[in-house]
Structure 1
């Protein structure tokens, strides 16, 4: 098993709460993780139709007749269990009684908020970070990680990424969208995912996405919400402050996994990545997605934004996760530093009162340096931060 950075945070939550919930994308390693952390817990998977039928037919007996320490995988498939889990966890009061995992965040969290509020530690397991992938493949280069992505199977089995991701998309569309996308619209939904990839790092334009695919704006909004809740894409919100500036109110669109992103963009080799007009977009996506993983794996709630005003002054990342030490970050795919890279950092730093020491440029450089008090990170060093 690949070591996961979130392990200690999961263990802490299991010592605090009677129920621990772990959500994340399909095939992201949730089942492997919880079974490794809690080897003495009984494991049931509700994707097994027989087990699911037992849970739905007799939720009281399903919970009562099993050990008090139980892992329930894809728990959102049997919402009837949650009230009984609440009853038993209240009766026993032991931390770590129930470990719930699921790949449909919106369904699992809906049941948690209705039945288990205050009793559950909620965590997210995203695809492997570069640090985690490196533990499985010590020779891994950043460019290779960009193309391969972070799904654990790609580090367990030697298989082409394009084969894996085509299978992943087919399985995702066939299973996670059931009941949300009409069968006649599945090919258009596949096109919608590709359209999102083509618009990665752009300001979200639902009308444009809808027109690209030939669907209504309402449908585009619904499908985007589905992609968000199943951890395919995320929206980076704009930073807002009382600055006497007109700031954009539109979020930007990104993917959690660059391997999937590259597959959708039909970029399969390092040579294609190097020559692609989307290279800057992909590296920007990489740095931001990895920052989310870094914070979440350490038990911190990411507070990430971008800055853009009506003067087109823009900074790629405003990280206020540590409110006592906010960071401004510009992300470049270039290997050569240019003073112009810090121009917007200087401007926004003055507005937000963030000094040079908390301003950074992340680049595809060989090593990390300091210029004018600002850290000029190599992408590799940025991805290795704790």
Structure 2
């Protein structure tokens, strides 16, 4: 088992709250992690039809079987259980009694907000970060195209399943089970086509109108489907930074997938040599970097502080890290050779915002410190625990 960076935070939360909810996409390693850390607790899968029926028909009797708490897996499948769980947590008042897992953020948060607010802590567990995968080995051995093609879902690394075999089955299971659970999407074929079209937009501004035309549905349907993908941890929306520095800025979010392996599969990329010259290679690399920085935050239980900036003239900074007391701009480039073009938008934004320091994170190996205050860093630095944290 590959050690998870979220381990320390999960144990800390379990010592401070009566229950902890570990949420994330299917197959991100939630069950493996909680079962390894809380071996003394009974494990209950609410995906099992008989167990789920018992929990729904007799919630008091079901919970009465676990006087010392339990791990309740995929707990969003039994929403009525939360109200009964509230009474038990209040009565016993013991820390870390129940560990909940779920792969549907919307359903889980909705029920927790209604019943367990203040009693439960959240921890988001995403697929493996680069630090988790490669920090244990020599990061210099990382091959960029291999990283992008495989992504970070645990089964591909724990069991060595080829991406071309695993991702199509993952997508099929996700659409047939989770999508129907969140909302009754009647035409799953159209929905799958929508997801594939969206993969080609990862790392780009989200413009719903042309997407609706291309898919052949109305704008409200696209907005609803975007919500489904967000709540099930397939995509996330990177918001524009709210400070405009007296410039008219773009207000639409950018869309990213949490995993580049899934993006490659959706785009029909099955071999590394296809990535070398693929027109969307830069977007896939950017997706890898942004999602990895998000994982660094979520593994430590911290709020996402990442934004992007673009004005109406097309000048853009890929990332703006907002640390409250200072802003850090980041340009992301997949190229392995540093070019002067890498710095143009950064220097413009730094002057506009009166910021002294910035980063260029690129696909090469050499680090540089420029007199302009810009640090050029190799993408391999993402494996460092405190890099841009």
TM-score, structure 1 length as denominator?
A: 0.96
Matches within 5 A, 1:117-128: 117-128=117-128
For 1:181 and 1:114, the matched residues in 2 are separated by: 20
| 1:362–1:382 Cα contact (<8 Å) kept | no
**1:123-177: CA deviations, max 9, x gaps?**
1000110111226776543321111011100012222201100000010011101
Matched, 1:252 2:254: yes
Query: Structure 1 295/303 Cα, relative in aligned 2: closer, same or farther at 3 Å?
Result: same
For 1:256 and 1:51, the matched residues in 2 are separated by: 31
| 1:367–1:377 Cα contact (<8 Å) kept | yes
Structure 1 runs not aligned, ≥5 long = none
**By how many angstroms is 1:84 displaced?**
1.4
Matches within 5 A, 1:182-331: 182=184, 184-241=186-243, 243-320=245-322, 322-331=323-332
**1:224-282: CA deviations, max 9, x gaps?**
11001000011100011152211111001110000000111122222211111111101
Matches within 5 A, 1:14-163: 14-134=14-134, 139-163=141-165
**By how many angstroms is 1:370 displaced?**
1.5
How many equivalent pairs are there?
383
| 2:46–2:72 Cα contact (<8 Å) kept | yes
For 1:67 and 1:374, the matched residues in 2 are separated by: 57
- Root-mean-square deviation (CA, aligned residues, Å) is 1.5
Query: Structure 1 150/91 Cα, relative in aligned 2: closer, same or farther at 3 Å?
Result: same
| 2:43–2:73 Cα contact (<8 Å) kept | yes
For 1:160 and 1:93, the matched residues in 2 are separated by: 46
**DSSP 3-state at the match of 1:99:** strand
TM-score, structure 2 length as denominator?
A: 0.95
For 1:317 and 1:251, the matched residues in 2 are separated by: 12
| 1:46–1:75 Cα contact (<8 Å) kept | yes
For 2:148 and 2:244, the matched residues in 1 are separated by: 37
Instruction: Please identify runs of 4+ aligned residues in structure 1 that moved more than 4 A.
Output: 135-140, 179-184
For 2:31 and 2:304, the matched residues in 1 are separated by: 24
Structure 2 runs not aligned, ≥5 long = none
For 1:159 and 1:111, the matched residues in 2 are separated by: 35
Query: Structure 1 180/219 Cα, relative in aligned 2: closer, same or farther at 3 Å?
Result: farther
**DSSP 3-state at the match of 2:320:** strand
